[in-house]
Amino acid sequence: MSLVSSPRFSPSSSLSPCLLPRDLPYGYVRDFDTKGDFTKTQAEIEIQEIIRRGVNRTSQIFRCSVSKAPEEERPAALQEPLPPSRDEKGQVLPGQLAAKVFDYDYYESDFGGPWGNDEEADGNHCREHAVYAYYRRNGKTGYPHIMPQFYGSWVIKIRSGSDENNQPKFRYVGLILIEYIHGYSVENLCVRDRHGDYYSDLYPGTLPVGFPNHDGSWLNVTFDVEKRQHVVKEMLHGVVVGMHLGVQHRECEPWNLFVTMRNGLVTLEEPRVVLLNHSYTEVWSLTKDAEAYGDTHCLQRLPYPPHPIERCSIEALDTLEGWWPPTQRQHPGFSEEKFDEWLCKENVFGPHVEARTVLDPLFKQEKPWTHKYKKYSTFATLDLIEKVEKDVQTGAASSIIRFARENGDMNSDGRQEEREKAIAEGIHNRAMFAMTSTSYSLWLRIKVRKLRETKERELREAKERELQEAKERELQEAIERELQERRQLAQTEKESRKARKRQERQERRELAQAQALSPPPQVSTFITRADSPDRNPSRASTIHNATPTGIENRPTQTRVPRKIFGNLASASALVYECQRLSFRHDKPPSLFRLPSAPAGFNCEPPDPFSPLSARPGFSDEPPDLFTPFSIPPVFRGTSPTWTALHQRPVPAL
């Protein structure tokens, strides 16, 4: 992969992307001339490992080594020269560089956004470059500082298809090269309570952690309380050193805080702490506030970095709780006062005093600094600086006015007072532009007050939101309980209905079975032969079928097979007679009257269940319709078929 060294970018003056020039084609990099001659400044790298790659990411990170260094390097004040790929014996060295590529094609969709992905990638690249370059100019990159070594910003040329004339098209992507860190993040060295969110407590591992050496061996390190305190101590020291340079770090998070035991090819005795991602790190001199109040931050006027107790509190380290400071479960009763006591220990940051007050007596005695802690300043020193600058400012204005009075007539036109006022205001405005401690202290107090008010307002709003959320949760829980009760009631009713339906079906089934097993309604038909000497009717077989609705008064039709008579003449001896219903008498006419029947049998139809029709000795029981005594002699031994009018035929028994 070929790289071309790019010139210094114009970093964004805020955390929002800086708009690209309107005449800059899409796929090009700001301040980079694609038609320039880069023969001597071009380098080649070889990718050895993919650290992070994928869509919807703001950067792609690779581990790489230099296969061909450029003939001309940029000044060492701007970037570190590229490391060799082989050692003194000619052996290939493992990759010592990490390439962070800001490729806008891998960004998430910019549909509906205030700016495009190319401007977003340009802003991210500019901010990262600005932070690394600023630290490099101040000599604060690489070990033992909190910033990794910086090897400059570069541009890579990537082919992106062909144009209308089938000529290759290219796009240009910016990247930075930094030192590869052989280590782990604090997040990787811990576990979290998975029942909570990302801000839940950290639980450090108790087993030794292996760190690779350059010769392939491993160094095992156990992160006990002292080791964890050392990591936080180094991080806080790096943060206040950045404040003294006018830099504000905003991503001191467990996932961005890396621990290593190496400095290049050298193994260290104590853990080294590094912050890798700086997408939201702010350099004061490159912000919009600096344009209004001056390029120098008030903390830059201190002789030493501010004491961490004035800039770091236990609330600010809430995401590191569990690593250090400890949780209440790890150390019951651990409070902010105990954390402040730890900050002021002799082997941590020392007492909360100005280092000058400790150093001046040592200078007089010509003794070196013998304390374990480093030198730090306090905010009280800013008040002394403010007083001195105020005296200097007043003295300078008085001296200029006195010099003007002595060397010229300031009242020649009667405007002496106006001129003196203009001189004083000019000196004051110049001091304001240069950000003296007076103006900046006032601005700082206003800003601190605004920040405090903002924080208090946010706390109030947070409490109100918590109360509102608690009420909403209670209401939601009540609604869910009511819905659950309704669902249970509905389920119970549904099961009851199903049980009732099953019971009804079972009862209907049992009733149908009982009806099927019980004898059907019986109807007796008396049939006599015309030539019978006694002309007494005999009971015939009864049709086993219920009388359909609407045909109660219809006569019963009897059909006798021809084969049982032998010829039609015999069949003609049977007489079937059905009379119409007559209502002239009190009793209905006999539907079964035969001309040859006795007179006593023509008044009413026979009752099949009367004692007369029952067998002898069984007057209290219904007759047996299928005994030989109940069938006329002519039909005995024959299987007759009886058919009722308007009814389906019944098969022979």
At which of 122, 147, 180 does a domain end? 180
At which of 353, 378, 403 does a domain end? 378
417, two tokens: 């007072």
Say whether 538 sits in a helix, a strand or coil. Answer: strand
Residue 397: what pLDDT?
60
Asked if 109 and 42 sit in the same domain, the reply is yes
Asked if 30 and 121 sit in the same domain, the reply is yes
Asked if 526 and 607 sit in the same domain, the reply is yes
Of residues 54, 33, 50, the one with CA closest to residue 155: 33
> Considering only 112-121, 202-211, 276-285, 443-452, which range has the smallest mean pLDDT?
443-452
Grade residue 173 by pLDDT with cuts at 50, 70 and 90: very high
Phi first, then psi: what are they for 381, rounded to 5°?
A: -65, -30
In a domain, 444, yes or no: no
In a domain, 364, yes or no: yes
Residue 401: what pLDDT?
62
Q: In this prediction, what percent of the chain has a pLDDT beyond 90?
A: 35
Grade residue 194 by pLDDT with cuts at 50, 70 and 90: low
Is 507 or 426 the better-scoring residue by pLDDT?
Answer: 507
292, two tokens: 């209004």
Grade residue 225 by pLDDT with cuts at 50, 70 and 90: very high
Residue 514: what pLDDT?
86
Specify whether the CB–CB gap between 426 and 396 falls below 8 A: no
Using CA atoms, how far residue 463 sits from 455, 468, 470, in Å, is 12, 8, 10
Asked if 172 and 188 sit in the same domain, the reply is no
Q: Chain-wide mean pLDDT for the chain?
A: 76
Asked if 244 and 293 sit in the same domain, the reply is yes
Phi first, then psi: what are they for 294, rounded to 5°?
A: 115, 160
At which of 362, 378, 394 does a domain end? 378
- The model's pLDDT over 519-541, given as tens digits with 9 standing for 90+, comes to 666 555 444 444 445 544 444 44
Residue 419: what pLDDT?
65
Residue 315: what pLDDT?
87
- The model's pLDDT over 385-394, given as tens digits with 9 standing for 90+, comes to 887 777 766 6
- Looking at the chain, the number of H-run helices and the number of E-run strands are 10, 17
In a domain, 439, yes or no: no
Q: What is the DSSP string of 182-243?
A: -EEETTTTEEE-TTS-TTSPEEE--S-EEEE-TTS-EEEE---HHHHHHHHHHHHHHHHHHH
Read off the CATH number of the domain in which 41 is found. 3.30.200.20
Name the E strands within 560-611: none
Asked if 544 and 629 sit in the same domain, the reply is yes
What is the C-alpha separation between 30 and 125, in angstroms, rounded? Answer: 10
Grade residue 274 by pLDDT with cuts at 50, 70 and 90: very high
Phi first, then psi: what are they for 636, rounded to 5°?
A: -70, 140
In the predicted model, what is the mean pLDDT of residues 489-510?
91
- The model's pLDDT over 576-596, given as tens digits with 9 standing for 90+, comes to 444 444 444 444 554 444 444
Residue 388: what pLDDT?
74
CB atoms within 10 A of CB 271: 18
In a domain, 358, yes or no: yes
Residue 115: what pLDDT?
85
Asked if 502 and 430 sit in the same domain, the reply is no
Asked if 228 and 309 sit in the same domain, the reply is yes
Asked if 513 and 526 sit in the same domain, the reply is no
Is 76 or 604 the better-scoring residue by pLDDT?
Answer: 76
Confidence check: pLDDT of 169 > 80: yes
Confidence check: pLDDT of 447 > 60: no
What is the C-alpha separation between 395 and 542, in angstroms, rounded? Answer: 144
H or E element that contains 4:
strand 2-5
In a domain, 442, yes or no: no
Grade residue 602 by pLDDT with cuts at 50, 70 and 90: very low
- The model's pLDDT over 12-60, given as tens digits with 9 standing for 90+, comes to 434 445 678 878 888 888 888 888 888 898 999 999 999 998 888 889 9
What is the C-alpha separation between 11 and 247, in angstroms, rounded? Answer: 14
In a domain, 335, yes or no: yes
Of residues 132, 172, 169, the one with CA closest to residue 148: 132
Confidence check: pLDDT of 257 > 90: yes
In the sheet that 183-185 helps form, which strands lie side by side, from edge to edge? 183-185, 257-263, 266-275
In a domain, 466, yes or no: yes
Grade residue 622 by pLDDT with cuts at 50, 70 and 90: low
Q: How many residues does the chain have?
A: 653
Asked if 43 and 96 sit in the same domain, the reply is yes
Is 178 or 398 the better-scoring residue by pLDDT?
Answer: 178
In a domain, 2, yes or no: yes
Specify whether the CB–CB gap between 41 and 5 falls below 8 A: yes
Confidence check: pLDDT of 573 > 50: no
Specify whether the CB–CB gap between 133 and 163 falls below 8 A: no
Is 3 or 287 the better-scoring residue by pLDDT?
Answer: 287
Cβ-Cβ contacts under 8 Å for 31 (sequence gap 6 or more):
6, 7, 8, 9, 10
What's the domain range around 503? 451-518
Q: In this prediction, what percent of the chain has a pLDDT beyond 70?
A: 66
Asked if 168 and 190 sit in the same domain, the reply is no
Residue 148: what pLDDT?
96
Q: Which residue has the tokens 């009631």?
A: 489
Asked if 213 and 108 sit in the same domain, the reply is no
Of residues 96, 32, 31, 38, the one with CA closest to residue 71: 38
Specify whether the CB–CB gap between 318 and 327 falls below 8 A: no
Cβ-Cβ contacts under 8 Å for 175 (sequence gap 6 or more):
3, 99, 100, 101, 102, 125, 153, 154, 155, 156
Q: Which residue has the tokens 């830059």?
A: 300
Q: What is the DSSP string of 123-169?
A: HHHHHHHHHHHHHHHTT-BSTTSSBPPEEEEEEEEEEEEE-TTS-EE
In the predicted model, what is the mean pLDDT of residues 264-291?
92
In the predicted model, what is the mean pLDDT of residues 322-349?
91
Query: Domain tally for the chain?
Result: 5
Using CA atoms, how far residue 277 sits from 96, 118, 161, 261, in Å, is 18, 20, 32, 19
DSSP state of 377: B
